Amino acid sequence: MIPLLLLVMKLLFCRQSAGDEFLIRVTTNHLSLQEVMRELEDDSAGALSIFMGNVRNRGRYGNVSEIYYEAYSEMAEEKMREIENEAQTKWAIKKLVAIHRIGNLKVGETSIIIGVSSEHRNEAFEACKYIINNVKTRVPIWKKEITDESQKWTDGILLE
């Protein structure tokens, strides 16, 4: 009975993307630009747009040594799929990758990579911008700045 219940819950709460060409993931692993580029390969795409968010050394509370990202991973991936589906309806996207890293990240490490391929550059640029802006405001991922003096939560969204 439990395996059936888990399958039903996964189907209800962790829907897969309508497009088989899209990779959405929250991970504790280091992010690889090369992996993203491989995922975006498509001979019919004339444009690739990539956004990489990196941990910077200065934050809201001073000099940052690292950032701790925490997420409700299943819900975060579901919200990211919602954003993906919205982007698909607005632009002719060939392939899309959205990967957010969680855990402790040092200055200079990449926390998120968004990649979009499309036939034309404007679609790729606009879709990439739309996706990162919405991930920042709608996906349940929280950020704690770690400085020499303190550790403080700085960003995140309320769960609905």
How do residues 8-65 score in pLDDT, each as one tens digit? 444 444 444 444 558 999 999 999 999 999 999 999 999 999 999 999 999 888 899 9
**Is 5 a domain residue?**
no
Q: Is the pTM of this model over 0.75?
A: yes
CA distance 92 to 65: 40
Q: What is d(CA 120, CA 124) in angstroms, rounded to the nearest whole number?
A: 7
Residues 111-146: tens digit of each pLDDT: 999 999 999 999 999 999 999 999 999 999 999 999
Tell me, yes or no, whether 111 lies in a domain: yes
CATH code of 82's domain: 3.90.1170.40
Kindly state whether residue 118 falls inside one of the protein's structural domains: yes
Number of separate domains in the chain: 1
pLDDT, residue 157, reads: 66
Assess if residue 87 is contained within a domain: yes
**CA-to-CA distance for 25 and 46, rounded, in angstroms?**
25
Look up the domain containing 120 and give its range. 17-154
